[in-house]
Each structure stands twice: as structure tokens, then as C-alpha cells.
Amino acid sequence: MNKQKNNGNIKSGKKHHKSKKQYGKQHSAQASRTSGKSKGKHRTDTPRQSNQRGITAEVTCTGLTNEGKGIVQWKGKQLEIAGLLPGETGEVNIFKKGRFIDTKLKRVIKPSEDRANLTLSFPNEGVGCHLYHMNEHAQNRFKQKFIDELMKPFGKPEPIITMEFPFYYRNKNVMTFGLNKKRQIICGLYAENSHQIIPMERSIIHDQKADEIIQTIKGMMKSFKMQPYNEDTGRGFLRHVLVRVGKKSGEIMVVLVAASPMFKGKNNFVKALRKAHPEITTILLNVNKRNDSMVLGNQEKVLFGKGTITDTLCGLKFNISAKSFYQINPVQTEKLYAKAIEMAELTGKETVVDAYCGIGTIGLIASKKAGKVIGVELNKDAVRDAIHNSKRNGMKNARFYQGDAGEFMMQMAARGEKADVVFMDPPRSGSDEAFLSSVVKMQPNRVVYISCNPVTQARDLKYLAKNGYAVESIQPVDMFPQTVHVECCSLLVRKN
């Protein structure tokens, strides 16, 4: 059962417990594909009975995929059903979509004890939350099992660090704008693997104030004659709105991402938005003319305030720009960083590298216990923030450099420079050979590897384990409750 404070819309407890018959209805299950061995997309024969609306079948779930979808056997085929849990029997729609068989959970006939006792208040509030139908205990078990299996070659991982109130934790919301078939303005998240917008007002993991602000902007658009951008025609103005909240400071940044810098009536728009939400501390216009999936473009203009927000993490104050990376769950980040610093066993003398350092959070927190800190980061704005953050917190032993972490480390290694501890926190794609081979050359005693993608982390651990390092500890942290994602912090120690 979810241990929840009754904060906002999340309801739990007997009062809100749905009857068994109701269970399936809360899931807007994404289409899932038949499982097989190649590429995840599998051509199958269409069942003869199938028509456009599909057929209904009763199935029993025997396990879960790594994406948290229920696995069922049906007429000799393995199907994946979003929202169905192991042991549960459910009624599903099975229908053909192109070359694939899609499924949709209609209702759960026999719910599992692992099912969350949770009622959603807003349409599509659970979009993007692949595991919200599982209770906390089941989510933790699911993530632990995933990490245990993945990291088996390196030893037994520690029990996952969980979150006490696993809702509304995100400090950053991004919503995309468009028109529906009735040409009404909608905003929401893209459906999986598509650019179709699923309209939503709230999410069970978003900051509630951030969602409110985005709805206010949506409501203002008509009177300001602001059209959402249309990717197909290239017409329209507003593409996305990004809201970032300093959960401790209370500062709020709103970024209007537009297709053009020509923002007619911007002063009145800003005035009206600030009137509706005096808690907003800065507003920016970001111009993105690209056609890829990046939310933010390069051009940026501050419309109100200082253009950045401040937040407090592990007792230090951090300046955060719109384009800089900042961990999205500050409650769990403090636990993650505490673990990472503990793993480093700093004594006050060490030379520490903070690679992929973002705005310098880990390096600056470590600098209190280290001889000196050298940070490297690709994103210029983040490096500027890191330098500012170093001064702001009075850290005199930290230096930050802009560049590719692999190239930077290669140069350090070529100059014969040494480090005692390397913190590395690369993006989802993981690190690269230039970086890892330089670590091996520089021979730090300890490498603390933080990752939001344990699959690429396991790949990189394998490289280091083959080249003189022993994996001593693996600590999963639930940084992304309700979703399938999990953060993992691993300690490698140099063998003699």
C-alpha cells in the first residue's frame, strides 16, 4: 500500500479503494507489441477474428518486461499488456495495428496484492508513469530485481534507497503545445515513440505549482492570439513551456519555447502571467527553430527577472540556468550525493575530478572534504553556473572547465596528471573509451560512477573491471518513482 500524505490530488486508503471491476479503467495503456527476439518490434500474423475494434480476450499475467509491462501468453504468442501485474487476470483488447498486434487493458478481473491503491483525479495524470499501477513495495522489488540481474557479474547490489513520498517530486516540467482535431489548444506530453500530444493538465510526479502555471499559460493563449506551433506546417509560435522550481528556495523559472523570436505583446503577456502567478521569479523566451526532439534552442532572451533560479542542495546554494542540467528529484539527489561522497572516502588531501559535472553540484559538495576539485562539462551555460556556484559558496579549491570529458581526461593523462578520486556522472549514453582509458592511465584510487542508465553503466563497469578496478559497491537509488527508471551509484577501487 502506498504510504502517502494526502497532499493535493493523490488519494489513498480504503475510502478511495476502487472495486475490483473498476481497476482496468484508470489505465490508458500504451499500445504494446508482441514480444520476440529481434529489435523489439515484431511482425505477427493477425488473428482471424480481428477487426478494427479488435477482439476481447481474458488473459493471465506471468511476468513483467523491463518496461514494466505484463507478459501474457495468448494463442501461442507472447503479448505485453501495459498495466497488468503478475498473477492478475485481465480482460484485454487485442487488435492489429499495421504489422503489429497491439493490446489494451480493459479491466483487471483479479487484482494482485501488488496493485497500488491509488485514484487519479485528472485525465492522463499517469502518462509517462509506467509503474504507477504498482504499489511502492512492488516498484522497489521490480527495480531491485532489474539492478541485481544487470549487475550480477560485479557482485550483489545494496538495497535500493527509496523515497518516502514518491509523488510530485519533479522540479522540472516540460509540456508541449498543439491543436486537437477541433482546433482547440492542447498541451501535454508526447505519446511514446511519437509526436502525438497526449493532453494532460496534471501529472502525479510533476511539481503541482509548475503544472498550474502551464495551465494558466494555456488559458491565456487565446486572448493573446498566441498560436501553438505546428511541426508539419511550420506555422504557429509556442512549442513548449518549461517550468523549473527551486523546491527549497521557492524560486520559479518559466521558459516559453517558441519557433520565432518575434513575440508580439510580450510585455503584456509577461505582466498578465506575473499577475496570475506572483511566485514566478524569472521568465525567458527560448527560440527553437530545429526539427529534432531537443526542447530548447540556442537563442535565449530574459523577459523578466535574472534569467536563472537558485536552489539549495546538501547545504550549498546553486545557480541554475535554463539549459543547464539539474537533477530532477532533489529529495533523492541529496541521498544519492551523500552516498557518492561516502564512497569517495575523502580525507581533505585528495585531488578530485568531477567529470560531466553539470553546474558543479557533486564537485562543490565534495570540495569541502578534498584538497582540490577539477570539474569538466560540455554545456557552456552549466560551466558558467558551476564557476558562479563555486564563488557563491566560497569554495576556493574548485576549478571548472568547458569541454568534452573524454578529451579533457586524455589531455590530463598525457600531461602525466594524477587524480585520487574520479566522480563521473555521464548522460544516458554512458561514457566513452577516451574517458575510461584515461581513467585507467591516471590510476585514481577510487572511481565513483553515478548513472541514470544502469545498462550503459554496467557496460562501462565491465571495461574498468577488466582494466585494474574492482567494483566494490553498487547502490541503486529510486530517483524516478512511478517510472521504470532507476539511478545507480557504483564504487570502483583500484587493485594493487
Which residues in this chain contact ligand SAM in the complex, by CB under 6 A?
A: 325-327, 356-358, 361-362, 376-379, 382, 404-405, 425-427, 452
278 phi and psi angles, rounded to 5 deg: -60, -15
Distance (Å, whole) CA 238 – CA 255:
11
The residue among 394, 400, 450, 403 whose CA lies nearest residue 422 is 450
| Closer residue to ligand SAM, CB minimum distance, 12 or 321 | 321
For residue 94, which amino acid is it? I
The residue among 357, 318, 314 whose CA lies nearest residue 448 is 357
Task: State yes or no: 207 annotated in a binding site.
Answer: no
CB of 249 to ligand SAM, least distance (A): 16
Task: State yes or no: 356 annotated in a binding site.
Answer: yes
The pairing of beta strand 77-81 with beta strand 172-179: unpaired
End-to-end CA distance of the chain: 48
8 A C-beta contact, residue 379 and residue 323? yes
The residue among 68, 66, 88, 199 whose CA lies nearest residue 132 is 68
| Closer residue to ligand SAM, CB minimum distance, 43 or 428 | 428
Task: Give the H/E segment covering residue 226.
Answer: none
Active-site residue, 452 included: yes
| Closer residue to ligand SAM, CB minimum distance, 112 or 431 | 431
Task: State yes or no: 52 annotated in a binding site.
Answer: no
| Closer residue to ligand SAM, CB minimum distance, 271 or 459 | 459
CB of 362 to ligand SAM, least distance (A): 5
CB of 447 to ligand SAM, least distance (A): 14
CB of 382 to ligand SAM, least distance (A): 5
8 A C-beta contact, residue 109 and residue 42? no
| Closer residue to ligand SAM, CB minimum distance, 36 or 427 | 427
Distance (Å, whole) CA 314 – CA 345:
17
CB of 288 to ligand SAM, least distance (A): 17
Label residue 8 left, alpha or beta by phi (over 0 means left) and psi (-120 to 50 means alpha): left
Catalytic residue among 61, 357, 452, 489: 452
Measured between alpha carbons, how far is residue 304 from residues 280, 286, 307 in Å? 9, 13, 7
**Which sequence positions are flagged as catalytic?**
452
Binding residues: 327, 356, 377, 425
Q: Known binding site for S-adenosyl-L-methionine: residues?
A: 327, 356, 377, 425
